[in-house]
Each structure stands twice: as structure tokens, then as C-alpha cells.
Structure 1
Amino acid sequence: MKTGRRALLGFYSLIVIVPLLVVVGGSFKTTQQLFDSPFGLPTHPTLDNYDTVLRQQNLLRVLGNSITVVAVSVPVTLILASLTAYAAARLPGWWGRVVFGIFAAGLAVPAQAMMIPQYVQFDRLGLRNSLTGLMLINVVVTLPVAVFILTGFMRTLPQELYEAAELDGAGAWTTFRKIAVPLSFPSLAATSIFLVVMHWNDLLYPLLFIDDPAKRTLPLALLDFQGEYLTDYPLLFTGVVVASVPMVLAYAFLQRHFVAGITAGSVKG
């Protein structure tokens, strides 16, 4: 069994590592070098692809758009989701189940089924083709996921803490701010990582809502490297590497909180 597990993990590692090496190595190759040796290390590494992507393709500006969208969408989603999750966990009787059920129902509706009404509504409100509209639609789409995760965690918090806070004269807002939020920090950190990845990698809504090249996000800008008859793979790989660096750094710094968040509540103290 141990040998089988190791073999399975080794096979899975190859599935992950080989494409990663091809992408990273391909970003330092020319097109001819990539097609001559797609799996080999670059024999004559070049930074021309990075110069083209960052300067000529103006990817730094696109990178700023993505950072702006994520930096606004994630905190707003976490604030709204934490308030909703606290209400769903604390409301007595069936009220809490109703609140949770409304947001949980949002998970059952495919995003594609809502796109035409959303497009028409945002166009009428003047929010289409703007980063503000993109931030708003990101919050709307990912809010049910965040509420679902946070509600499950807040329901595991000991009720004695809330009762003690009420005996000390703390109101609902004080209890939420000084007890529920600090204790839910591991779950909030894990949820924030999920939201960052979802918002950062989102292509569907920017493709639908954004027409102005100056307001594109990274996934949308990467489509420029793929033509109808020819794809510049070295430039595409370089763009993928640049787009992945912020995610890798974010996970490296938040890994401890992510692991704590996904295991929080699994063991009772």
C-alpha cells in the first residue's frame, strides 16, 4: 500500500511538474527553440519575451487592473459574507436556515444562466466596460461561495462565548467584531485565498463586460497572444508566468493560514 501510494503521488507530481517546466522554460526560448525541444532546458536563454510582454504589450498596466479588481472585490466580499454568515449562524429558529438557504441557492444556479440578464442590467446602469462594474459582478458571483464557507465555520463556534458576551452587555455588533471575527480568522484567510484565485483567474466576465483595451485584466490580455492561425507560445508562456507570480507569492505568505483555515473545526477541543 505504501509503495502504491508513493507511485501514485510520483505520477501525479509528473503531471503537475512537466507542464510547469515546459511553461517556465518556454518563456526563455524563441519559437524555434520551443518547437525543436519543448521539454528541454533552454540552451540559449533569452529575456526578449519578458521585455516584449512587459513593455511592448503593456502587461504592467493590465497587471495593475487585475490587482485593483482583486484588492477591492475580495475585502468587500469578505465583509458582506462574514456579516451574512454571522446572521445565519446566530439567528434563532428557522430564520438562520432561511438566510443561509437563500445564499446556498445561488450555488445551484450556473453563472452562464445569469449572464444575459446581468449584461443587460449592467449596461442600463452604465457599469459595463468599467472596472467598477467588474468588481461588483465579482462580489455578486462569489458571495454565495464565501457565505457557504464562513457559515459552516461560525456554526462551530461555542455558543457559551456569545452568551458570556451578552451577560457582559455586548451587543450584536460588538460580539461580531470582537469575538466572531477574531475566532474566524483562519476561515477568513482560507476564504480570501479562494476568492483571490477566483477573481484573478476569471476570464468569462471580463470577456463579457470589458471592451476597452485599457481596462482589460490579465486573463483577457493573454488572449492577444493567441491568433486564429498562429499562436506565439513563448509570449503566451511568458504572460502565464507573469500572471502566476502574484498567486504564488500570495500562497507562499498565506500558506499557514490556508492550512489552518481548511482544517479549522475538524477537531473539537
Structure 2
Amino acid sequence: MTSRLVKFILVAVFGLIIIIPVTMVVLTTVKTSEDFYMNPIGIPNSFTMQNMIQLFIGNHIHLNLLNSLIVTISTVFLCLLVASFISYVIMRLKGWRSLLLFGLFILGMFLPAQVNMIPLYGVVNALGLNNSLFGLILISTTSFMSVVVFIVAGFMKTIPKSLIEASVVDGASEWQIYRKVVMPLSAPSIATAAIFVSVMVWNDLLYPLLFIVSPEKKTLPLALLDFQGEYFTNYPMIFSGVIIASIPMIIVYLFMQRYFMEGITAGSNKG
């Protein structure tokens, strides 16, 4: 009885930690700036949808939302495509060559993004890709490639060798083994990597801030900085943008949560 009570208390506390900030964000979106600064954490005197309307009509947030969608979808697609090829090669190689190739990508995870800012800016500027969504997509793809290879290659290594050997005996080519055997079995890890990269790219502020200048090419997180000034910050507008930015990621997780949970628990079921 005591253990169940403790579990209930812990769950309730954890729930409050999640619910209270989310509730404050939602309430702030229906406040005016004056109401927010007079009563930041209270219930507003009157509810307004003006913040949401102003975001789409006055600030054209839909263009920034479209830019974020283009960058995120393109980055996730390129990351998964290239990383799946690399992971398959790592799985098929034997001995030190496989460990060396896998280790090189793991080393890429240890370098903070801030360390690469100056070299990356120099390369992008030299290629003439500064202030372009295409350049931002390439930078994001290369930046998150190591993480995707780590997730997908780690899962592919758990695929039974007998399945691969049986496919070889049946006369399957490397492309057929990759497409018809390895990729279907790796679906949970692909989904896990897709969700992880989607969230990271969607919320990324560093690279858009570094490479994007034109207002019409700004991503959603970068556009929300326009509401933060030196002497005044429009929190109701920012939180309204945060709500809008959260919706696509919630939809992605709801559609892929089954594969995501399978990818997380797959390692514990092997062996």
C-alpha cells in the first residue's frame, strides 16, 4: 500500500511539473501584453485570439512555418537516406574496418556545434550558399548525420547474420538485401532517428541564426526572436508562436510513437 502511494505521489508531482508550465504558456497566448505584465501567472481578465491572428496576418508566420517544414523534412530525408547506406556498409564490413568507420562517425558526436561555427560559415560562404535554405539543409544534414548513423548502425548490427547469409545463398544482390531484408527490419530505428532529428532540426536556432539573413527565409524559431527586443519582449506573441511550433512535432510523434517505442526497447529484446 505504501509503495503504491509513493508511486501515485511521484506521478502526480511529475504531472504537475509538466502541466503547470504548459498551462501557463496556453494562458499567456490569450493575454494581451498589458495583461501579461500586470499578472504574468494568473488567469487573464479577458481572452483574446489577437496574438494568433497577428502572427499569421501581420507577421506572416506561415512563411516561416513553411521554411521550417522544408528544412526539417529535407534534412530528415537526406539524413535517413545517407545514414542507412552508411549503416549498411558498417554492418556488412568485418573486423577493424567496420569499427574504424563506425568510430569515425561516433567522434563526430563529441564535437559541439559551436566549435564548428567559424569553419562552417567559411565553407558555406565560399560555396555561395549563405542565406539560402539549401545551404541550411546541407549544414543540418551533415551536423546530425553522426547521431543517425549511431542509432541506425547500432540497430542493424543486431540483425541476425543468418538472415543475411540466407539471402546471399538465395542469390540476392546487396541492393536487394538492403532494400528487402535490412531496411524493413530496421524500421523502428529509422523511426527513432527520424523523430530525434525532426525535433532537433525543427527547434534549431543556432544554424538559422548563423546562415539566414533575409526575413522571408527565416525558420520559425528564428522568426520568434523578432518579438524579443532590448527593452521590451512580447511574451504573448512568443508563446503563441511556441504553441504553433509544437503542433507539427506532436503530430509526428503521434503517428510514429509505436515505432519510436519499438526502437527504444529493441536493444533490450536482443541477445
Match of 2:118 among 108, 116, 119: 116
Q: Mind listing any 5+ residue stretches in structure 2 that lack a counterpart?
A: none
1:43, CA displacement in angstroms?
4.3
TM-score (norm 2): 0.95
Q: 1-side partners of 2:229 and 2:112: how far apart?
A: 29
CA shift digits 1:34-59 (9 cap, x unpaired) = 23443334442211111111110110
Please say which of residues 62-71 and 256-265 is displaced more in the overlay.
256-265
Q: 1:159 — aligned with what?
A: 161
Contact 2:28-2:239 within 8 A present in 1 as well? yes
Root mean square deviation of aligned Cα:
1.3
Q: Offset at 1:169? A: 0.7
* Greater displacement, 132-141 / 8-17: 8-17
d(CA) in 1 for partners of 2:155 and 2:217?
37
Select between 203-212 and 80-89 the one with higher mean Cα deviation: 80-89
Q: Which residue matches 1:34?
A: 36
Amino acid at match of 2:184: P
| 1:24-80 superposed Cα distances (whole Å, 9 cap, x missing partner) | 111011123223443334442211111111110110000000000011110110011
C-alpha distance in 1, partners of 2:34/2:64?
28
In the TM superposition, 1:142-181 aligns within 5 A as 142-181=144-183
For residues 107-160 of structure 1, the C-alpha deviation after alignment (integer angstroms, 9 at most, x for no partner) is 111111111001001100001110000000000000000000111110110100
List alignment gaps of at least 5 residues for structure 1: none
> TM-score by structure 1 length?
0.96
Corresponding position: 1:58 with 2:38 = no
Partner of 2:90: 88
Cα distance in 2, alignment partners of residues 254 and 41 from structure 1? 35
C-alpha separation between the residues in 2 aligned to 1:36 and 1:164?
71
Are positions 1:23 and 2:14 aligned together?
no
**In structure 1, C-alpha distance between the alignment counterparts of 2:36 and 2:232, rounded to whole Å:** 14
3-state SS of 2:159 partner: coil
- Contact between 2:84 and 2:152, CA under 8 Å: does it hold in 1? yes
Are the equivalent residues in 1 in contact too, given 2:67–2:217 (CA < 8 A)? yes
Distance 1:163 1:255 in 2: 32
- The whole-number CA distance in structure 1 between the counterparts of 2:206 and 2:200 is 11
